[in-house]
Structure 1
Amino acid sequence: MTVATLSEGPAILIGYAWRLHIEAEAPVFTEGASYAGHLRLKPSDPTLLAELSSADGGIARITDTVLELSLTPSQTAALTPGHMVLDLVRTDLEPDLHLGFLLEVPVMLPVTRGLRP
């Protein structure tokens, strides 16, 4: 399987919610399927920075061709400026199926921050 690295989309702003739509060219996001993904500093890093899943609402199927990924403000608050990586796995199949792409997402410190304790 070839893994494509994608680097388009919005940056994660530390302390703010983040959302990204992933759009496939073919109808590959089956209704009822479940997904999981890990956010790490780099693929080889053992430290898990955030986990997204269908079960917790971090990955939501919008249509057969669109998934929405999201992080909460509390998940992004623990990040540092730079770049993070994320990939996705379909977890309702046996064995789990890697979706074949790796996202590289910039992480930025916003100018407006610390508004709520």
Structure 2
Amino acid sequence: MGKNILICDDAAFMRMMIKDILTKNGYNVVGEAENGVKAIELYTETKPDLVLMDITMPEMDGIGALKGIRAKDPNAQVIMCSAMGQQAMVIEAIQSGAKDFIVKPFQAERVLEAVKKVIG
């Protein structure tokens, strides 16, 4: 059985690209959130094995959502995605409990490598 993954990114195109990479490789995408508030809601509903979360989103950013998810589930597995030049945010994300981060624009191999490293 494939692992369940929640995708959080404010760009529909990015969600579609990530979903495509994951589903072609046997993972189940159990939800898609366009902001941090929705990400926390969907995490609670779907209990995914992994969350792929963009850092920069409206309403609540990825770091706020990461903290919210980990407050509900300290064992939550989250990989952050960020654009180039957001090193300070990446460091904050790792300190807040993110397991890895992927820099955009990313290659399919890098996404899969990070996902496999965290949830197998």
- The TM-score bracket by the shorter chain reads under 0.3
Work out which structure has the larger RCO, using CA pairs closer than 8 Å and 6 or more positions apart in sequence.
1
Q: Higher strand share goes to which structure?
A: 1
Length-normalised TM-score, structure 1:
0.24
Length-normalised TM-score, structure 2:
0.24
Highest Rg: 1 or 2?
Answer: 1
Q: Higher helix share goes to which structure?
A: 2
